[in-house]
C-alpha cells in the first residue's frame, strides 16, 4: 500500500515534469528555428528600409511601423474603454438580468473568431463610418477584438483587491468613486497590465482582421495619416510566404520578419512587465 502511494507520487510528478518540459521544448524549438533561419536577414537596412525589387530585397520598415501604429491605436482605444467597463461591472452594476446579459455578451465576444471581427470592422468602420481601409479602421477592429480580454483581466484584478481596503476608505467618509480611484485602482493596476500584455501579443499577431480593414499588400512608404492604408508584419509575412513574387528567394526575409515580430512583442511585453513591477513595488509604500 505504502510503496504503491509512493510510486504513484513518482509517476504523477514525472508526468507533470514531462508536460512542462514539452511546453518549454516547443517554445525553444520555435525560437531556435526562427532565429537560426532569420538572423542572417537582420541588419540595419532590414529594419530601416523600404521593401525593394518587388519585396525580394530591402527592408520591412513600413511593416514594423504599421504594426507599431496598430498596437498604439488599439491599446489607446481598448485600454480605457475596457478598464472603465470593468470598473462599472465589478464595482457598480447590481447583479441581475442586465448585468448577466452583459457578462454573457463579453464571454461571447471573447470566443468570436477574429475573421468575424474583421468582417464587422469592414462593414462598420471601413464602409458605414467611411474611414476606408485605414489604420483607424484596423485599430478600432483590433480594439474590439481585445476588449473582452482587457475587461476580463481588469475585472479579475479588481476582484482581488481586498474588501478591507474598500471598507477602510468608505468608513473614513470617502465616496465610492474616490475609494475606487485612490485605493482600489492602484491596487488593481498590476493585474490590469497583465491583461494589456496578453492583448499586445494578439494585436501584433492578428492577420485576418487587418487584412479586411486596411493592411496593404505592398506600400513603399509610411502611412501619412490615420486614414491611410499600412503594411503590417503578420500580413507581410503571409504575403511573402504564400503569394510573393519569389517565395523561395525571400525565405530569409520571411524568417527575418517573423523574428522582428517576435522581438517587437517581446519588447512591448518587457515594458509592460516593468510597469507592472513598478506598480507592485509602489504598492508596498
Partner 1 sequence: MPDNFANGTEIEVTNLNLWYGENHALHDISINIPKNSVTAFIGPSGCGKSTFLRCLNRMNDLITSCRTEGNVGINGQAIYTKDVDVVDLRKRVGMVFQKPNPFPMSIYDNVAYGPRIHGAKKNAIDGIVEDALKAGALWGEVSDRLNSPALDLSGGQQQRLCIARTLAVKPEVILFDEPCSALDPISTSKIEDLILELKKNYTIVIVTHNMQQAARISDYTAFFLLGDLIEFGKTEQIFESPKEKATEDYITGRFG
- The yes or no reply on residue 162 touching partner 1 (CB under 8 A) is yes
Shortest separation between residue 188's beta carbon and partner 1, angstroms: 12
- The yes or no reply on residue 74 touching partner 1 (CB under 8 A) is no
- The yes or no reply on residue 90 touching partner 1 (CB under 8 A) is no
Question: How many of the other CB atoms lie within 10 Å of CB of 136?
Answer: 21
Single residue of 47, 115, 119, 174 touching partner 1 by CB under 8 A: 174
- Residue (47 or 102) nearer to partner 1, CB: 102
Single residue of 169, 228, 254, 257 touching partner 1 by CB under 8 A: 169
- Residue (107 or 277) nearer to partner 1, CB: 277
- The yes or no reply on residue 97 touching partner 1 (CB under 8 A) is no
- The yes or no reply on residue 284 touching partner 1 (CB under 8 A) is yes
Site map for partner 1, 109-138, x if CB under 8 A? ------------------------------
- The yes or no reply on residue 170 touching partner 1 (CB under 8 A) is yes
- Residue (45 or 178) nearer to partner 1, CB: 178
Q: For residue 145, what are the β-bridge partners?
A: none
Interacting residues toward partner 1 by CB under 8 A: 94-95, 162, 164-165, 167-175, 178, 182-183, 186-187, 283-285
Amino acid at each position: 500500500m505504502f510503496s504503491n502511494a509512493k510510486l504513484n507520487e513518482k509517476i504523477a510528478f514525472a508526468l507533470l515534469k514531462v508536460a512542462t518540459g514539452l511546453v518549454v521544448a516547443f517554445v525553444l524549438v520555435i525560437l531556435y528555428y526562427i532565429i537560426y533561419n532569420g538572423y542572417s536577414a537582420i541588419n540595419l537596412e532590414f529594419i530601416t528600409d523600404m521593401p525593394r525589387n518587388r519585396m525580394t530585397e530591402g527592408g520591412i520598415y513600413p511593416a514594423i511601423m504599421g504594426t507599431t501604429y496598430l498596437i498604439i491605436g488599439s491599446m489607446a482605444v481598448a485600454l480605457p474603454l475596457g478598464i472603465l467597463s470593468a470598473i462599472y461591472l465589478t464595482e457598480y452594476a447590481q447583479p441581475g438580468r442586465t448585468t448577466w446579459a452583459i457578462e454573457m455578451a463579453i464571454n461571447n465576444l471573447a470566443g468570436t473568431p477574429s475573421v468575424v471581427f474583421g468582417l464587422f470592422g469592414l462593414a462598420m468602420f471601413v464602409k458605414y463610418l467611411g474611414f476606408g481601409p485605414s489604420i483607424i479602421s484596423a485599430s478600432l477592429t483590433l480594439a474590439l477584438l481585445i476588449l473582452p480580454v482587457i475587461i476580463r483581466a481588469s475585472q479579475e484584478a479588481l476582484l482581488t483587491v481586498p474588501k478591507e481596503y474598500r471598507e477602510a476608505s468608505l468608513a473614513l467618509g470617502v465616496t465610492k468613486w474616490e475609494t475606487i480611484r485612490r485605493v482600489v485602482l492602484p491596487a488593481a493596476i498590476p493585474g490590469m497590465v497583465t491583461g494589456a500584455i496578453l492583448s499586445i501579443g494578439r494585436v501584433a499577431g492578428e492577420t485576418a482582421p487587418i487584412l479586411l480593414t486596411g493592411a496593404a499588400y505592398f506600400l513603399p512608404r509610411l502611412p501619412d495619416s490615420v486614414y491611410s492604408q499600412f503594411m503590417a508584419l503578420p500580413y507581410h509575412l503571409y504575403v511573402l510566404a504564400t503569394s510573393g513574387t519569389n517565395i523561395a528567394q525571400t525565405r530569409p526575409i520571411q524568417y527575418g520578419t517573423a523574428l522582428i515580430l517576435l522581438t517587437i512583442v517581446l519588447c512591448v511585453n518587457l515594458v509592460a512587465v516593468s510597469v507592472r513591477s513598478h506598480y507592485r513595488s509602489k504598492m508596498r509604500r
